[in-house]
Amino acid sequence: MTAMPRRRFLAAAAGTVAAGSASGRLLARAPVPTSALQTRPPLVVSTWPFGQPANEAALAAIKSGASGLDAIERGIHVTESDASNPSVGLSGIPNADGRVQLDACIMSGPGHKAGAVGAVEGFRHPISIARRVMETTRHVFLVGQGAMDFAAAEGMERGPVVSDGQKAAWEKWRAAQAKAKSEKKGHDTIAMVALLADGNLFGGCSTSGLGYKLPGRVGDSPIIGSGLYVDNEFGAAGATGIGENVMRYCGSFLVVEYIRQGLHPQDACLETIRRIAKMDPKGFDLSINFVAIDKQGRYGAAGTGSGFQYSVTCDEFSRVLSSPGLTAKDVGPTGGNQPK
């Protein structure tokens, strides 16, 4: 964590009680009322408590004069480099073949630019490859071998295709496949959105995706409009959860569309989930969560289950908040992949 001066405070406005997490971070227990969810930019918001140090790195970059894209990239590098994170970067849970395939995307509000990569193996920072796609090619999305060839040609930093710890866990899982046909494995993603003091919006998203997914499977995270969307005129949103339940509905685009219609970002997240649940045969049993910000510095999040936590960082504070959920099913402070 950076040593920037800041006040850490919790959801005092909502009368919630602070709880100490295993990592020593303070977590709010209940959602904060929408009226309290606004601050002066610069503002960085991301998914999960592990987004907090990433936010802080992004804010430090902004304050040192870096661009919005640099801030997103440096922030997400923190999570991608965290060897204890089993959902983002090369420490992520591998696919069914025992290889970690990473997905990422980045968006710049100014110019409405985007870059993305899917199913990339053996590179440390998919967010940087996504940015390189955006800035140096005439394309938006490269996948698989093509994306890896591009990353190699660009000299992007390499790493192992799977960590030793994850390899051992995968071998155990594979052995168990003989007995049980399928096992649900957790997953989390960092989706980060930022509003700069000049009013410009940026976002990024990075994940190893669903644990033990089919090789070649790409989730919502690198798909513009699904795992991330930035509209420089109105707001930005990002998603975490089961990608199949987000990408069929262009989830993040829908959140930003509700912001455009005038909803507070938190209400936009809630309304998106309600709309998806109304259409989906599974109803609210979707395991999806969104974070969002708007041009006015309002921010919020929501999940299908209660207690989805997200990180909010600005000049005044850096904190982890609980979002409202639409069912009582508790997603927990650490989501799918983090050790409980």
Active-site residue set = 189
C-beta of 79: minimal distance to ligand SD4 in Å? 12
Between 63 and 217, whose beta carbon lies closer to ligand SD4? 217
Between 102 and 230, whose beta carbon lies closer to ligand SD4? 102
Between 219 and 297, whose beta carbon lies closer to ligand SD4? 219
C-beta of 153: minimal distance to ligand SD4 in Å? 26
Cis peptide before 53 (omega within 30 of 0): no
Q: Which two tokens stand for residue 277?
A: 């649940």
Give the footprint of ligand SD4 on this chain (CB under 6 A). 187-189, 207, 209-210, 219-221, 240-243, 335-336
Integer Cα distance of 108 and 338 in angstroms: 30
Integer Cα distance of 173 and 150 in angstroms: 32
- In sequence order, which ranges of 124-264 are alpha helices (DSSP H)? 126-136, 144-153, 164-177, 244-247, 251-260
Between 94 and 209, whose beta carbon lies closer to ligand SD4? 209
- In sequence order, which ranges of the chain are alpha helices (DSSP H)? 51-63, 68-80, 126-136, 144-153, 164-177, 244-247, 251-260, 265-279
Integer Cα distance of 223 and 225 in angstroms: 6
Give backbone dihedrals phi and psi of 135, rounded to 5 degrees, phi first: -90, -20
